[in-house]
Amino acid sequence: MLVDKDISEALKRTDGKVYELVENKLGALRRSDQYHSGSFRALSEADREVYELVRQEYDRLENSIQLIAAENQCSRAVLAALGSIVQNKTTEGFAGARYHGGCEVVDTLERLAVSRAKEAFGARYANVQPHSGTSANQIVLAAVLNRGDRILSLGLDQGGHVSHGAPVSFSGRFFDVENYYVDKETFLLDYEAIREKALQVRPKLIVCGASAYSRTIDFEKFRAIADEVGAYLLADISHIAGLVIAGVHPSPIDHAHFTTTSTYKPGGPRGGLILMGQDYDRPITVGTRSLPLWAHVQKTTFPGVQGTPCLNNVAAKAVFFKEALSAQYRARQFKIIENARALADALLDLGYDVLTGGTDNHMILVNVAHLREGLTGVIAQKCLERCGITVNMNRVPYDTNGPAVTSGIRLGTPIVTRNGMGTEQMRDIAELMDSVLRGVEILSDREYGIEESLRDQTCEKVRQLCSRFPMRD
Ligand SMILES: *Cc1c(COP(=O)(O)O)cnc(C)c1O
């Protein structure tokens, strides 16, 4: 009963018609609540195997330290929207221009997600339909490039993303890709070198934004270069979107023609997002027609690249953007950087080669090959995982090891920060990592041995630390 029983009875006596309407409405709300709240139990009854695996994943997360820079932890409210019956709605097109009936509710949901995304990022246009960060990039590439057109982007082995033109991806197969590089000594972006390269290769699209770069990116400089050579600029902020929302990293929104991001990295549901700032309605000629850039992006999303949107993800994105607008979310972005700096400093103190000498964002890149003769990224990842510390191997710029071995690891602080850890715990984590990385026996470039006592002791310390910082909603 959602309304006081006496009021309900009184209404029934005085106005039977209104009473019935209210009861019907309330009944539907009650049934929706009951339907949705039982979903985890329904899974346990319908599929024990999958249910147990979900529980195992929860257990893994509770008892190990998550330091993968590309991961985050969404709220249960986001999970609830993802697991709602909105998932069943099939339609094509955008709010107000759909190809199926029954869209009045999902239209409102999508408009809400769009307006919150625009507010969170200070954007003029937002497209919440991309299924992933990769799809968002694919849509932008398909919108402004023809087969064989030239892209200038940061190479994959330098910190770029596979969807920025790697030969193994659609972006590298259908377009002519040229790369810019980080400086050989400092590992920093050298804007003068990028400008020279752009003048030399005359790209139609410049891509900036990275998966492995721990310093601030100067989007304004990238735009000046793009303007000089008459290129579009795409800023992919997948990794730093949360920092951009909070203003702890400069925003590309009004500098780039297009800004893309994944929505899970800043702490939302899986999915992608395309944003545009002041250039959103600049005209583009497509065939013989001229239309605003945003409308062309819309058409390239559907029917150009994607089919039906995942409207449960759209609902979950709306929930996340509301969270991202809160003071608490913004404050946490500062803490994420504070923790990353503390972890970088602790590792530097312990003698590690932290690339660029530190970090401006949530991410730390470490060349572990410089710690010990024979140590590689893959060994570091594997032995730390055995001890309850989850990281990923990563090539460092100009790496002599291949992508399956690597010389580096990449660390990130979004999840540990979300669960309440602070700078003191970052020091503890650095020490735990150090005892493992110095203690393992290196057998080959991918194989290692570890003493049981070191492994068990570390696992126990990790568990103790984790138990003080359980997963937060
Ligand atoms: C993670 C990432 C993506 C890919 O996002 P998905 O949603 O996993 O496809 C794109 N670009 C950059 C820079 C990324 O770091």
Taking every pair of Cα atoms in the chain, the longest distance, rounded to a whole number of angstroms, is: 86
Tell me the C-alpha distance between 221 and 245, whole Å: 20
Output DSSP code: residue 189: B
Q: Closest ligand 1 atom to the C-alpha of 131?
A: 7
Look at the alpha carbons of 25, 31, 33, 39 in this order and tell me if their dihedral is positive or negative: negative
CA of 236 to the centre of ligand 1 (A): 8
Q: Is 31 helix (H, G, I), strand (E, B) or coil?
A: helix
Query: 68: Cβ below 6 Å to ligand 1?
Result: no
Phi, psi of 315 (to 5 degrees): -60, -40
Look at the alpha carbons of 416, 420, 422, 427 in this order and tell me if their dihedral is positive or negative: negative
pLDDT tier at 96, thresholds 50, 70, 90: very high
Query: 362: Cβ below 6 Å to ligand 1?
Result: no
Q: pLDDT of 383-425, one tens digit each?
A: 999 999 999 999 999 999 999 999 999 999 999 999 999 999 9
Query: 160: Cβ below 6 Å to ligand 1?
Result: no
Distance between alpha carbon 9 and the CA centroid of its chain, in Å? 51
Is the pLDDT score of 318 beyond 70? Answer: yes
CA of 132 to the centre of ligand 1 (A): 7
Q: Which residues pair with 205 in a beta bridge?
A: 151, 232
Percent of the chain exceeding pLDDT 70 equals 99
Query: 309: Cβ below 6 Å to ligand 1?
Result: no
Domains defined for the chain, CATH in brackets = 85-324 (3.40.640.10), 333-468 (3.90.1150.10)
The pTM score is 0.95
Q: pLDDT of 213-267, one tens digit each?
A: 999 999 999 999 999 999 999 999 999 999 999 999 999 999 999 999 999 999 9
Contact 266, 324 (CB under 8 A): yes
SS3 content of the chain, % helix, strand, coil (to 5): 50, 15, 35
Which pLDDT does position 275 carry in this prediction?
A: 98
CA of 136 to the centre of ligand 1 (A): 9
Query: 209: Cβ below 6 Å to ligand 1?
Result: yes
Q: Closest ligand 1 atom to the C-alpha of 134?
A: 9
Query: 163: Cβ below 6 Å to ligand 1?
Result: yes
